[in-house]
Amino acid sequence: MRCYLRAGLAVALGGLLLLATGGTLRARAPSRVANIAPEVWDASASGADVDILLILRDQADLSGAWDVSGREARLRYGYDTLRVTAQRSQAGIRRVLDSAGVNYRPFYLVNMIALRGDRDLVIRLAARPEIARVVANPKVRMSTPMPDSGPLVPQTVAGVEANVAYVRAPDVWALGYTGEGIVVAGQDTGYDWQHPALIAQYRGYDGVTVTHDYNWHDAIHEDDPSTSPGNPCGFDLAAPCDDIGHGTHTMGTIVGDDGAGNRVGMAPGARWIGCRNMDRGWGTPERYAECFQFFLAPYPLGGDPFQDGEPDLAPHVINNSWTCPPYEGCDWETLQAVVENVRAAGILVVASAGNGGSSCSTVEHPPAIYGAALSVGATDNSGAIASFSSRGPVTVDGSGRLKPDLSAPGVGVRSSVPGAGYASFSGTSMAGPHVAGTAALLWSAVPHLLGDVDATEEAIARAARPRTTTEGCGGDGTGDVPNNVYGWGNLDVLAAVERTLPGVQIVKGVRRSGQLRVRSLEYALVVTNTGPVTLTGVVLTDMVPLSTTLTWASGHYTSAGGWLSWTTESLGPSETLTAEFAVSVESLPRGSLVINADYQVRARELLTPVVGAPVEAVLPWRLLVFPVLRNSQLE
């Protein structure tokens, strides 16, 4: 505290502190306060107001979220824990700001306050004990995707785009999974929600009525001096609108399907919600954080995020086709806490790697640099890396982290644009939505993965088709997978689903008891977990064959109405459950056919029970008489 008070005093008396140099009196320039970012200090030197973020010392600890079972409970835990921390620790400084008439926006997702003020205000706020640091809230220009100058990418059968077919999404549709029951989100330049490829999938539209509450948020509240005055859509929009078309294109790749042959999206059965975080491509860390906060606990139009949030309405995955460059003053550490808290609450964060290639260590901008984000590089439709796709490793934060995590189509991607049209663009902005859509398909096929971000990321990344590189980024060898160019390789959604689908095998055998006359049949059943995940609530059932009588059964079982049941709480990968029982057949005439076909296994993770093949036995068993052969050479 003492050093802050001295700094504040030096500024207050700056006009009186004179330094004699060569007979000339001049004012001593104040030294930058340690917890004020250089960008803020320099921008406020002329007395101008600057946009800042006050980062408080007291930050919520969400490490306990991993111990909370169930996605909804984890979201609620995250929302409540973050709010309580922010409300308690912000109370004093908010009273100061209120009394001074300063406009500000408080946040709980990361404990911070956004405001605008001059250097004097910045210094006074930085000196408060609850403030850890003061960082810039700069205007950041999005790297605009490149329009495809060549012919449109050829479509495959039934209007499915080549990029969608390449990652094998239609093969997953054929299995019956299109993303149903999953909510995807995007923060971008806005969305044309009435576009034919998007309207049916918008969560705020049921085919008859429209409600944008909890489904849409606009973080663009006022004119941005970085752009020309006004905005084509306006500000604080009550309904989704896209001011340059980027968001509509990215969302189309996630869910787009107009039902008339334009099958541009990965998961047409999913629903979407959105947030506008950029004014014609210009964003700020505050806007990015505001959208993330809306997604963690959506609230109605004009609502209070601290009081009106509904975490039960949170999306399952958030697509982020934008970057926040540190060289433009974006504080990467602040957004890191934002992304990590969203992930801890059970939401998958997908981020485009950036268009800074082809040099190494060009994955250098948030949110793609974070370990808590699933980062995606761009390829063409043959799986070759695009020249513009950013490469790893991440060096800007000193981590040396391998990035991207995997790659997806991002060259000549055709998707929806405002006004009911379609166009092709190239960029990692186009690649990331493929992975967001993949998550929706995976979860609709394997719902027990919902909320398990670790397992979901691993399933998607490890199922990618391996690609090697000779570029040597980060010391990559020519045979290394993963590597800093492709990550784990090319996205393969069918392989991801097959990798995670629960699998069970039932093997059943029968043997006779008795010699010339069969008195009983003994059955043995072995259930094997052939999938990659632990099955829970496992129940094996079998029906005693008609006209037979149960004589005994193994283990702990129940018997009712001719049904036998064995249960176990869990069955891990490759583990087995074995059961045996015997039935008397003495009352059956010779030549009878005994069929046992009604046996199956079910578990919480299995969408439908797994039924075994019928087992048949004929009474009596055939008696084989083996002849006795003599060796003539021994006679």
Residue 474 lies in a domain: no
Which two tokens mark 123? 């210094």
Model confidence pLDDT, tens digit, residues 433-479: 999 999 999 999 999 899 899 999 999 999 999 999 999 999 999 99
Output the pLDDT for position 110.
96
Measured distance CA(50)–CA(117) in Å, rounded:
6
Distance CA 398, CA 210 (A): 47
Q: Look at 139-148, 514-523, 599-608 and tell me which has the smallest mean pLDDT.
A: 139-148
Say which residue, 144 or 431, is predicted with more confidence: 431
Clarify whether residues 429 and 492 are in a common domain: yes
The conformation of residue 534, written as its DSSP 8-state character, comes to -
Judgement on whether residues 145 and 274 belong to the same structural domain of the protein: yes
Residues with Cβ within 8 Å of 377's Cβ and at least 6 positions away in sequence, in order, are: 353, 385, 386, 389, 390, 391, 404, 406, 407, 408, 410, 428, 431, 485, 486, 487
Q: How confident is the model at residue 134 (pLDDT cuts 50, 70, 90)?
A: very high
Give the domain CATH number at 444. 3.40.50.200
Average pLDDT score over residue span 420-442 = 96
Query: What would you report as the CA-atom Rg of the chain, rounded to the nearest whole angstrom?
Result: 32
Give residue 148's pLDDT: 57
Q: Are 309 and 299 in contact (CB under 8 A)?
A: yes
- Establish if 628 belongs to a structural domain: no
Task: Answer with the one of 90, 119, 137 that is the final residue of a domain.
Answer: 137
Is residue 147 over pLDDT 90?
A: no
Q: Could you tell me if 623 and 518 are in contact, meaning their C-beta atoms sit under 8 angstroms apart? A: no
Domain identity same for 188 and 313: yes
Q: What are the contacts of 553-562 at 24+ separation with CB within 8 A?
A: 553/579, 553/580, 553/581, 553/582, 554/578, 554/579, 554/580, 554/581, 555/579, 557/581
Residues 482-490: what's their mean pLDDT? 98
**Exposed e or buried b for every residue in 220-259, given b needs 16+ CB within 10 A?**
beeebeebeeebebeeebebbbbbbbbbbbbbbbbbbbbe
Evaluate whether 216 touches 274 at the Cβ level (below 8 Å): yes
Q: Are residues 312 and 428 in the same domain?
A: yes
Report helix angle 453-462 to 493-500, nearest 10. 130
Q: Is the peptide bond before 447 cis (omega within 30 degrees of 0)?
A: no
User: Do 169 and 108 share a structural domain?
Assistant: no
Q: Does 631 fall in a domain?
A: no
Does the pLDDT at position 133 exceed 60? yes
pLDDT of 618 reads 84
Indicate the SS3 state at residue 75: helix
Please report where in the chains the tokens 């929806």 appear, as a residue: 416
Residue 624 lies inside a defined structural domain of this protein:
no
Task: Calculate mean pLDDT across residues 239-252.
Answer: 96
Domain end, chosen from 122, 137, 152, is at: 137
Report if residue 623 sits inside a domain. Answer: no
Give the pLDDT band of residue 241 (cuts 50, 70, 90).
very high
Structure tokens at 162: 């080549």
- Please state, in angstroms and as integers, the Cα–Cα distance from residue 368 to each residue in 340, 452, 468, following that order: 12, 20, 21
Question: Rounded distance, CA 22 to CA 519, Å?
Answer: 120
Q: Is pTM beyond 0.85 here? A: no
Query: When comparing pLDDT for 619 and 82, which is higher?
Result: 82
Of 140, 105, 119, give the one whose Cα is nearest residue 285.
140
Question: For 267-309, what is each residue's pLDDT tens digit?
Answer: 999 999 999 999 988 899 999 999 999 999 999 999 999 999 9
In sequence order, which ranges of 411-554 are alpha helices (DSSP H)?
Answer: 428-445, 453-462, 493-500
Q: State the CATH number of the domain containing residue 579.
A: 2.60.40.290
Instruction: Tally the domains of the chain.
Output: 3
Give the per-residue pLDDT at 588. Answer: 87
Place of tokens 């910045």: 122
pLDDT band at 18 (very low <50, low <70, confident <90, very high): very low
* Nearest-10 crossing angle of helices 285-296, 332-344: 10
Lowest mean pLDDT: which of 25-39, 120-134, 313-327?
25-39
8 Å CB contact between 55 and 334: yes
pLDDT score of 484: 98
Report if residue 391 sits inside a domain: yes
490, 509: one domain: no
Cα(501)–Cα(603) distance, integer angstroms: 13
> For the segment 151-174, what is each residue's pLDDT rounded down to a tens digit?
334 444 458 999 999 999 999 999
pLDDT of residue 633: 41
Amino acid identity for residue 423 in this structure: A
Distances (CA, A) of 320 to 21, 439, 487, 492: 54, 14, 18, 20
pLDDT, tens digit (0-9, with 9 covering 90-100), for 533-570 = 889 999 999 999 988 999 999 999 999 999 999 999 99
Strand ordering across the sheet containing 50-56: 104-107, 112-117, 50-56, 131-136
**H/E element holding 508?**
strand 504-513
Predicted local distance difference test score (pLDDT) of residue 146: 55
Please state the rounded mean pLDDT for residues 210-229.
89
232 with 315, same domain: the answer is: yes
Nearest-angstrom CA–CA distance, 112 and 285: 12
Q: What is the C-alpha to C-alpha distance for residues 628 and 233, in angstroms, rounded to an integer?
A: 97
Catalytic amino acids? 188, 246, 429
Are 185 and 331 in the same domain? yes
Is 90 exceeded by the pLDDT of residue 624?
no
Quickly state the pLDDT bin for 516 (edges 50, 70, 90). low
Name the amino acid, one letter, at 18: L
Lowest-confidence segment of 23-27, 197-201, 534-538 by average pLDDT: 23-27
Provide mean pLDDT across the span 595-603: 91
Which pLDDT belongs to residue 427? Answer: 95
Residues 122 and 229 in one domain: no
Backbone angles phi, psi at 185, to 5 degrees: -135, 155
Closest to 344 (Cα-Cα) out of 371, 310, 305, 376: 371
For the chain, what is the largest distance between any 2 Cα atoms, rounded to a whole number of angstroms? 136
Cα–Cα distance between 253 and 242 in angstroms, integer? 16
CA distance linking residue 366 with residue 353, whole number of Å: 9
Is 161 among the domain residues?
Answer: yes
Based on the fold, state whether residues 160 and 300 are members of the same structural domain: yes
CB atoms within 10 A of CB 371: 17
Provide, rounded to the nearest whole percent, the portion of the chain with pLDDT above 90. 72
Question: What's the mean pLDDT when you consider all of the chain?
Answer: 88
- Is position 625 within any domain? no
Dihedral angle sign, alpha carbons of residues 422, 426, 432, 435? positive
Q: What is the mean pLDDT of residues 512-531?
A: 83
Residues 119 and 145 in one domain: no
Judgement on whether residues 523 and 550 belong to the same structural domain of the protein: yes
Spatial distance between the Cα atoms of 338 and 135, rounded to a whole number of angstroms? 15
Lowest mean pLDDT among 5-14, 279-288, 291-300, 393-402: 5-14
Pairing of β 317-320 and β 183-188: parallel
- Percent of the residues in the chain that have a pLDDT greater than 70, as a whole number: 90
Give me the sign of the Cα torsion angle 256, 258, 259, 262. negative
- Domain holding 74, by residue range, is 2-137
pLDDT tens readout for residues 224-236: 776 778 888 999 9
Q: What angle do CA 444, 450, 456 make, to 5 degrees?
A: 90
Residue 13's pLDDT is 25
Least confident of 7-21, 109-123, 380-394, 453-467: 7-21
